[in-house]
Amino acid sequence: MSDMAIELRGIDKSFGLVHANKNINLTVRKGTIHGIIGENGAGKSTLMSILYGFYQADSGDILVGGNKVTIKDPNAAILSGIGMVHQHFMLVENFTVLENVMLGAEDSQILNTSISKARVELKRLEKEYALEVNPDALIEELPVGLQQRVEILKALYRKADILILDEPTGVLTPPEADHLFRILGQLKDQGKTIIFITHKLREIMAITDEVSVMRRGEMVATRKTKDTSVEELAELMVGRRVLLRVDKGEANPGAVKLAVENLTVRDSRGVTMVDNVSFTLRAGEIVGIAGVAGNGQSELLEAISGIRKAVSGTVLLNGRPIDVTGHADPGDLRSRGLAHVPEDRHHVGLVLKFDEAENGILGYHNDKRYLNGVFLDTKAIQADAEEKIRKYDIRPPNPRLKTANFSGGNQQKIVLAREMERGPDVLIIGQPTRGVDVGAIEFIHKRIIEMRDQGKAVLLVSVELDEIRALSDRIIVMFAGRVVGEREPDATEGELGLLMAGVEGRKEAAE
Amino acid sequence: MEFFDTIVAILESTIRVSVPLIFAALAGLFTERAGVFDIGLEGKMLGAAFAAGAVAAVTGSVLTGLMAAILISVLLSLVHGYASITQRGSQIVSGVAINFIVAGSTVILGEAWFRQGGRTPALDADARFQTVTFPFADAVKDVPIFGPIYSNLISGHFILTYVAFLLVPFSWWVLYRTRFGLRLRAVGENPGAVDTAGISVIWLRYRAVICCGILCGFAGAYLSLAMSAGFVKGMTAGKGYIALAALIFAKWRPVNIMMACLLFGFLDALAIRLQGNPLPFIGQVPVQLMQALPYILTVILLAGFIGKAIPPKAGGVPYVKER
């Protein structure tokens, strides 16, 4: 009997020219939570897909419980006692919980008998692991946290001893994530082995016993979690020292570039999302808008950038009004020096099916330097893309690659490069580092501060309070569509937190 | 009483014209529920009708004709499967290609083999399906109301007609009460879920496509061996598309499919009956309007007036393991 749940020896895998896994060795002890951390694109998911039989390794051995096994498809993985909770749930949305759990593990041709057996077994699992969920509920009616629980139950139903969770917290709210951690702790106590994949350092420190770090397809280190630190892991992930804090000098505010007065915006249902908001933004400063997601920040950005019609109010850009209540044209605003990095890069910022070079000119495609008469000047576009790739360290450095195939951080860099390289007077940025890995975060933060130091006015919206505090020269807090306070960046997290929760704001308004 | 007889006559022909629609729509149900859209129902039905007519004419055996119909239809299904499942091509293009190839080749082969302008020779009674007469059908014929209903509506159809109607509950049972059905519906909604559960997406979809071929074979054989006595070029006359419309109209559910096919069949039967018989007050109803009604109804449904028709989520999308 080996006390190793899983051993990988010399696993190697290439996809065409991309060497996704290079000679990976990994040992996971039984009954532990083993974290695997790495930036997006480091090869974590590929490695786990090999372990689960989605892909075959080009070379290398897999040992489960000390015995060498061949995992040629997911079925073989299941038989070896490996279960996987995928990042994007593998559930049939219009099936019930019970049907999803038994799918593929039905024990007879006729469903009725399988269903009653599965129901009994599911009940037992729910009790044993305290994972209650209504077996007859339809998946599409369940919140995301419960859907994930169904995925875990699916694995347990197939008698998995080793559970792989691929970026499980990406879709969860913080309380749901905490709940998941408690469940994982329980599973560990019952003797299950858990492999936990993430790119979030905080989660690794919170729940793992051991952690292995991957970087560019290689396994670079394995540490006991209690013997390591966030700083060390970040450095191992990125391959160099990472500043988790941002260095920036004093702001040097100049003329008012953007003035928002009494702006009110409603959403499509007619609910007032931005309520009589006023503020100014000067050249050479970063103003951060803090707030819990859904308190009107998104609508505020959309109204200023001309995507959403406002109900009332005025916005002055460089002293000239923007027709926010009428037909503000985002293209026109761009030419007037307002650049916008939208919150949702997948749906608003990029066309994922276009290649990098094409996305690099979106919105600026009528610019003379990209045109050759009525046609696009592909050479100029290509040269422009290559320059941005170099300047923003976009990887892989291939302007012809479909944007969908870049990692989140590199996609964000593509959007940033497009908007920043125009030298706008005003830069509006929503969620600059959502779904972006540590190395890219550092880069993006530096670029934002550089913009400020060049005398640009930057309006920053983020739900990450740390980010707001690190970058902003002034912080405006929004709650329920209204500005409930303005603070200096040295305000404590507690103070801002209370404002964001709407507690302090009401008092202030009353005074 | 004359009015009653007219109604019975219309309903009788409703049943007669609905049968190929039911076979074909159920065929579409199996593939589309598995995520493979099939616009080639028309072509498979036509190919099957030709194979049935040709083989029955040569062998003089109705069963051999039926087998030939199923064989050809399954082969055409496998072509569609190979193009759209294995090679991950466009399911629409593959389906349309099958329709065109069959429409052309049946005429060419028919002319080359039988020299009757693309027809197959008229079949003897032995080489085609006969109607089944239920016990006492003749005896009760003259009983008012019940008599005509029993002897004309319930009794007196081809064996394939009864098979078609029995296939409706059977398809429901297969889809909703068997392991195969559960997996088939799952693969049409989220093939990833099936793949990660350790089941082959490709083999499952091939099986669904084969089911479709078998059922289209029945539809084709019904046309040339039961409804007519031989194959006539283009004899499906758009029934495959009407079946597709019925499938959508029925929101991909077996019992609804039967209802939709009966409705469309009824409109067809009514159109035939109204030809040259002006209605009181309204006058002559254009045949074209009646023939267009199934499509008009489907468009109205798709526009969302009669609830929403939500197709299987993974329908039309070849399965590629995410990378």
Average pLDDT over residues B247-270: 92
The answer to whether the CB of B96 falls within 8 A of the CB of B40 is yes
Q: Report the candidate in A198, A84, A218 with the shortest Cα–Cα distance to residue A151.
A: A84
Residue A331 has pLDDT above 90, yes or no: no
**pLDDT recorded at residue B322:** 59
Q: Tell me what percent of the residues of chain A surpass a pLDDT of 70.
A: 96
pTM of the model: 0.77
- Domain A256-351+425-510 CATH (choose: 3.40.190.290, 3.30.365.10, 3.40.640.10, 3.40.50.300): 3.40.50.300
ipTM of this predicted structure: 0.87
Radius of gyration of chain B measured on its C-alpha atoms: 20
Q: Where in chain A is the domain with CATH 3.40.50.300?
A: 4-238, 256-351+425-510
What number of C-beta contacts closer than 8 Å exist between A and B?
77
Average pLDDT over residues B255-270: 92
Q: CA B251, CA B311: separation in Å to the nearest integer?
A: 7
Q: CA B315, CA A126: separation in Å to the nearest integer?
A: 34
Q: CA B189, CA B34: separation in Å to the nearest integer?
A: 8
Q: Do B196 and A84 touch (CB under 8 A)?
A: yes
Q: Does A114 touch chain B if contact means CB atoms closer than 8 Å?
A: yes
The answer to whether the CB of A412 falls within 8 A of the CB of A433 is yes
The answer to whether the CB of A197 falls within 8 A of the CB of A44 is yes
Average pLDDT over residues B155-181: 95
The mean predicted confidence, pLDDT, of chain A is: 89
Average pLDDT over residues B79-94: 95
Tokens encoding A382? 């290509």
Q: Which residues of B touch A75 (CB under 8 A)?
A: 198-199
Q: CA A361, CA A369: separation in Å to the nearest integer?
A: 10
Q: Tell me what percent of the residues of chain B surpass a pLDDT of 70.
A: 98
Q: For the ranges A306-315, A457-466, B133-142, B244-253, which has the lowest average pLDDT?
A: B133-142
Q: CA B311, CA A20: separation in Å to the nearest integer?
A: 37
The answer to whether the CB of A117 falls within 8 A of the CB of A107 is yes
**pLDDT recorded at residue A500:** 81
* B166 Cβ neighbours under 8 A, 6+ residues apart: none
Per-residue pLDDT reduced to its tens digit, B109-166: 999 999 998 899 999 888 899 998 888 888 888 888 888 888 888 888 999 999 999 9
Indicate the pLDDT class of residue B12, thresholds 50, 70 and 90.
very high
CA B157 to centroid of chain Cα atoms: 17
**pLDDT recorded at residue A243:** 65
Q: Does A17 touch chain B if contact means CB atoms closer than 8 Å?
A: no
Indicate the pLDDT class of residue A244, thresholds 50, 70 and 90.
low
Q: For the ranges A451-455, B75-79, B131-135, which has the lowest average pLDDT?
A: B131-135
**pLDDT recorded at residue A267:** 82
Average pLDDT over residues A251-256: 91
Residue A510 has pLDDT above 50, yes or no: no
Interface test with B, best of A103, A108, A111, A113 (most B CBs within 10 A): A103
Q: What amino acid occupies position A431?
A: Q
Q: Report the candidate in A10, A12, A86, A84 with the shortest Cα–Cα distance to residue A43.
A: A12
Cross-strand bridge partners of residue A255: none
Per-residue pLDDT reduced to its tens digit, A128-168: 888 889 999 999 888 888 999 999 999 999 999 999 999 88
The mean predicted confidence, pLDDT, of chain B is: 91
Per-residue pLDDT reduced to its tens digit, B53-65: 999 999 999 999 9
Average pLDDT over residues A213-240: 89
Average pLDDT over residues A36-65: 89
Q: What is the CATH number of domain A4-238?
A: 3.40.50.300
Tokens encoding A280? 């100014």
**pLDDT recorded at residue B323:** 46
Indicate the pLDDT class of residue A18, thresholds 50, 70 and 90.
confident
Q: Report the candidate in A48, A56, A55 with the shortest Cα–Cα distance to residue A84.
A: A48
**pLDDT recorded at residue B272:** 81
The SS3 assignment for A165 reads strand
Tokens encoding A426? 């005003």
Q: Do B182 and A84 touch (CB under 8 A)?
A: no
Alpha-carbon dihedral A175, A176, A178, A183, rounded to 10 degrees: 150
Bin A328: left if φ > 0, else alpha if -120 < ψ < 50, else beta. beta
Q: CA B290, CA A77: separation in Å to the nearest integer?
A: 57
Q: Looking up tokens 């404002």, which residue turns up?
A: A499
Average pLDDT over residues A38-53: 87
| CB-CB neighbours of B129 under 10 Å | 23
Q: Do A92 and B190 touch (CB under 8 A)?
A: yes
Burial of A311 per CB tally in 10 Å (0-12, 13-18, 19+): middle
Q: CA A120, CA A197: separation in Å to the nearest integer?
A: 32
> By a Cβ cutoff of 8 Å, what residues of chain B touch chain A?
176-183, 185-186, 189-190, 192-200, 313, 321-323
Residue A492 has pLDDT above 90, yes or no: no
Nearest to B177 among A54, A99, A110 (CB): A110
**pLDDT recorded at residue A509:** 47
Average pLDDT over residues B284-300: 80
Average pLDDT over residues A6-30: 91
Tokens encoding B316? 């039309």
Q: Which residues of B touch A73 (CB under 8 A)?
A: 198, 200
Higher-pLDDT residue of B272 and A104 is A104
Q: Which residues of B touch A91 (CB under 8 A)?
A: 190, 193
**pLDDT recorded at residue B256:** 94
Q: Do B190 and A84 touch (CB under 8 A)?
A: no
Q: Which residues of B touch A84 (CB under 8 A)?
A: 196
Q: CA A347, CA B237: separation in Å to the nearest integer?
A: 44
| CB-CB neighbours of A49 under 10 Å | 24
Peptide bond into A396 cis (omega under 30): yes
User: Of the segments A420-424, B215-219, B267-271, which one has the largest average pLDDT value?
Assistant: B215-219
CA A363 to centroid of chain Cα atoms: 25
**pLDDT recorded at residue A35:** 95
Q: Report the candidate in B234, B212, B207, B208 with the shortest Cα–Cα distance to residue B223.
A: B234
**pLDDT recorded at residue A435:** 75
Q: Which residues of A touch B177 (CB under 8 A)?
A: 110-112
The answer to whether the CB of A255 falls within 8 A of the CB of A283 is yes
Nearest to A90 among B176, B180, B190 (CB): B190
Domains of chain B, CATH where assigned:
2-302 (1.10.3470)
Q: Which residues of A touch B182 (CB under 8 A)?
A: 99, 103, 106, 111
